[in-house]
Chains A and B, each alone.
Chain A
Amino acid sequence: MDLDPTDEQQSIVDVFGDLAQRTVPLDRLRDHEPVGFAPEMWEQLIAVGAPGMALPESMGGADATLLDLALAVEALGRRLAPAPLIEHAVTARLLARADALPTEVVDGTRIATLALRPARGGMARLVPAGAVATTVVAFHGTDLVVLDGEPGVHVANLASAPLADRDLTGARVLASGARAEQLHTEAVDEWRTLTASALAGLGLGSLEIGVRYVTEREQFGVPIGSFQALQHTLADVSVALDGAQLLARKAAWAHDSGHADAAVLGAMAFLFAAEQAQRASDRALHFHGGYGFMEEYDIQLFYRRAKGWANVLDEPAREYARLADLRYGPIPAAAG
């Protein structure tokens, strides 16, 4: 057991944190709303080789692990970086496994994404990064299909995320049947694991803002952070976020090490990080009092994304049911 990042892992945290901070600091994030995509952020990610970092070297990647990617998106999530690295990376890895990886996806000149839920009637709804991606992979009927085409029309949403519906007309079949399902499931599992890290980062970013605010803000002649009502809530938030961060990292590590329970850990990490990121941003907002409700204060940016980044996958209740299915097997259909 060694919970310290290696020097190399620490440099990933530092590089991606600095990059996000430098390219689109929080106070400029609103310039990129409502779509939630900053072309200069994507350019910077291309410059450090992020879009293809976790692809095999033989395909032009850097052979980075899922844990390396998790550390990168945790650092980006902490600063709400407006660029779809998670969607792009898991889709690129899927295309690599399907032997259909274009070089433009490796280097990031073409943004790729994944419809997380099966498409219906030729339409993939609310596709994350669908408003900026020119390559979309979707599960449709019994096929896994890939569509190359112009980005979709942005759908206004809570998180100011680049969501769009995508019409799959003209999509090519990548795989069918069990193979298609397996490729899609693996990619969504990786998405859960990485999004868990991004959400843990978002929660930690919220906590940082909350702690700073209650330390500076005075009421009744003292910093409000000296009141136990606030201290105890922030302590609970902090402990849970430490757990969320550890669990997300462990899930990525388990995936890299080929552990049988990697998918279960990813599902757990996702659910826990989603709840804790929401609570952290919600409580930090609340402790701002009326200021937290003002558009001008940054904490609202976290509060909206905490819910948006998670619920784009599915209803949480169904994710808990899915976790139970993974652990205990599905509920047999009632007889008769």
Chain B
Amino acid sequence: MDFTPSATAEQFGDEVRTLLASVFTDERRQHAHDTGTMHDWELHRAMADQGWIRQALPEALGGGGRGPEELAVLFRELELAGAPYDGMSICTMVASVLAHAGNEMQQREILPELLSGESLIALGYSEPDAGSDVAAARTRAVRDGDGWRIDGQKIFTSLAEESEWIFLLTRTNLDVPKHRGLTFFLVPTSAPGFELQPIRTLSGKRTNMTFYDGVQVGDEWRVGEVDGGWQVMLVALSFERGVAGGVRDAERLLAVAEAHARDAVDDDDRPLLEQPARRDALARLAIDTEVADLLTSRAAWVAASGKLPGIEGAASKLFATEAFQRSVNRLVDVAGPAGLVQAHDVSDLSAFYEYCYRFAPVTTIYGGTSEIQRNLVAQRGLGLPRGN
């Protein structure tokens, strides 16, 4: 047993920090905050130029060079810097799927665009009536001559406004159990009949509703088999390998809250770090952060040994996000009235608690709700019987 991070992972962490320091400047951070975008093109292209998107793909698929431990480091550094990285993680994941299951056209025309950082793709999974029950998707794809006609609606299609394509989950068969009647398509956002409408969220981040009204695509835009969408979905999930971000919010909160408490003073000019309630909240958060880090390292380690960290990834996501919410709530309380104040300037750390309080709810919802993760741990991890 050895808890030492590998030398290559440590070194890669240095590289990522160096790149972030030069590209993701305070102005870029402020811009992301002001616009609510979940993407930074300069950062994305700088990372693509380093080869990090390509390297994140499995070696057998023409990628390689970066194992799961290094990927975990990449997303850790992005998260701790507060850099928008959703575009990067979606891009990497869909690129892996296309490298694995894409046809000749997709591998020739779309994959290189994703790998080079030229273009983005958005995930079209969730629908107004199909969230956690994603296999209940009703957006229809129907044969139309040699191609397909797509009609329906998706929700939370984040980054669609920046994307060339939507990686779209559709229903192609109504006569079979729901998991067996799904098919994936790549839908160009320039296609006639495609429309999007922004959704503002509690944290200020922007996502979208997307509409598909008689969108025509050729059969070469289909990914995987007809009615084989669920298999493609499983491939996509397996490439996330439990290391694609979303598990470091507590760690970032700890770093910011400690920095803030060291520098700021209360009404009586006493350093915030001397308040017993704050110290207690920070001590508890420090423990949760350590545990979340270990659970995430475990998922990466399982992936590195060539296994699928399904349960370990669920455990890490579940613990990290629930711990983040607990801690945010405590720290906002500790801050009292001052914890309610918003600030325009992102370098004003005192307003971070207020932002986190608005952001925290989504972390236990997106990427699989806590309830879905618990089902997985209980049924596949502990072997408890499925209910009805």
Q: Report which A residues bind B (CB closer than 8 A).
A: 1-6, 9, 67, 207, 211, 214-215, 222-223, 225-228, 230-232, 234-236, 238-240, 242-244, 246-247, 249-250, 253-254, 257, 265, 268, 271-272, 317, 320-321, 323-324, 327-328, 331-332
B382 at interface, CB cutoff 8 A: yes
Q: Is the CB of A247 within 8 A of B273?
A: no
Q: Is the CB of A246 within 8 A of B298?
A: yes
Q: Is the CB of A235 within 8 A of B318?
A: yes
CA distance A239 to B384 in the complex (A): 15
Q: Is the CB of A320 within 8 A of B283?
A: yes
CA distance A228 to B376 in the complex (A): 11
29 A-B pairs with C-beta separation under 8 A: A1-B300, A2-B1, A2-B2, A211-B383, A214-B384, A215-B383, A222-B385, A223-B385, A228-B375, A232-B371, A235-B375, A235-B377, A238-B377, A238-B378, A239-B315, A239-B377, A242-B295, A243-B292, A246-B291, A249-B1, A249-B3, A253-B3, A257-B4, A268-B290, A321-B279, A323-B286, A324-B279, A327-B286, A331-B276
Interface centre among B322, B376, B381 (most CB of A within 10 A): B381
Q: Is the CB of B319 within 8 A of A243?
A: yes
Among residues of B, the one whose C-beta sits closest to the C-beta of A228 is B387
Q: Which chain B residues in 251-307 approach chain A with CB under 8 Å?
A: 258, 273-274, 276, 279-280, 282-284, 286-287, 290-292, 294-295, 297-298, 300-301
Known: A214-B384, A247-B291. A235 touches B378 (CB 8 A): yes
Interface centre among B279, B301, B322, B373 (most CB of A within 10 A): B279
Q: Is the CB of B282 within 8 A of A239?
A: no
Expressed in whole angstroms, the minimum distance between the Cβ of B314 and any Cβ of chain A is: 8
Q: Is the CB of A226 within 8 A of B294?
A: no
Q: Is the CB of A227 within 8 A of B387?
A: yes
B5 at interface, CB cutoff 8 A: yes
CA distance A215 to B386 in the complex (A): 11
Residues from chain A with Cβ under 8 Å of B376 in the complex: 235
Extra A-B contacts (4), CB below 8 Å, given A232-B375, A321-B276, A327-B282: A1-B5, A3-B298, A231-B387, A265-B290
Expressed in whole angstroms, the minimum distance between the Cβ of B300 and any Cβ of chain A is: 8
Residues from chain A with Cβ under 8 Å of B382 in the complex: 207, 211, 231, 234-235, 238
Q: Is the CB of B378 within 8 A of A332?
A: no
Q: Is the CB of B374 within 8 A of A236?
A: yes
Q: Which chain B residues in 1-50 approach chain A with CB under 8 Å?
A: 1-6, 9
Q: Which chain B residues in 357-388 approach chain A with CB under 8 Å?
A: 371, 373-379, 381-388
Known: A239-B318, A321-B276. A234 touches B69 (CB 8 A): no
Q: Is the CB of A1 within 8 A of B2?
A: yes
CA distance A197 to B123 in the complex (A): 43
Residues from chain A with Cβ under 8 Å of B2 in the complex: 1-2, 253
Residues from chain B with Cβ under 8 Å of A249 in the complex: 1, 3
Expressed in whole angstroms, the minimum distance between the Cβ of B221 and any Cβ of chain A is: 39
Mark each residue of chain B from 55 to 91: 1 if its CB lies under 8 Å from any CB of chain A, else 0. 0000000000000010000000000000000000000
CA distance A323 to B286 in the complex (A): 10
Selected contact of B274 from candidates A230, A247, A331, CB within 8 Å: A331
Residues from chain A with Cβ under 8 Å of B294 in the complex: 243, 246-247, 250
Q: Is the CB of B280 within 8 A of A226?
A: no
Among residues of A, the one whose C-beta sits closest to the C-beta of B295 is A243
Residues from chain B with Cβ under 8 Å of A2 in the complex: 1-2, 301
Residues from chain A with Cβ under 8 Å of B385 in the complex: 215, 222-223, 225-226
Selected contact of B381 from candidates A223, A238, A320, A323, CB within 8 Å: A238
Selected contact of B295 from candidates A5, A223, A231, A246, CB within 8 Å: A246
Among residues of A, the one whose C-beta sits closest to the C-beta of B385 is A226
Among residues of B, the one whose C-beta sits closest to the C-beta of A252 is B1
Residues from chain A with Cβ under 8 Å of B287 in the complex: 247, 268, 271-272, 323
Residues from chain A with Cβ under 8 Å of B6 in the complex: 1
Among residues of A, the one whose C-beta sits closest to the C-beta of B376 is A235
Q: Is the CB of B379 within 8 A of A231?
A: yes
Top 7 A-B pairs, shortest CB-CB distance: A231-B378, A324-B279, A243-B291, A235-B377, A235-B374, A226-B387, A246-B294
Q: Is the CB of A242 within 8 A of B378?
A: no
Q: Is the CB of A254 within 8 A of B286?
A: no
CA distance A215 to B379 in the complex (A): 11
Known: A226-B387, A231-B375, A247-B294. A3 touches B318 (CB 8 A): no
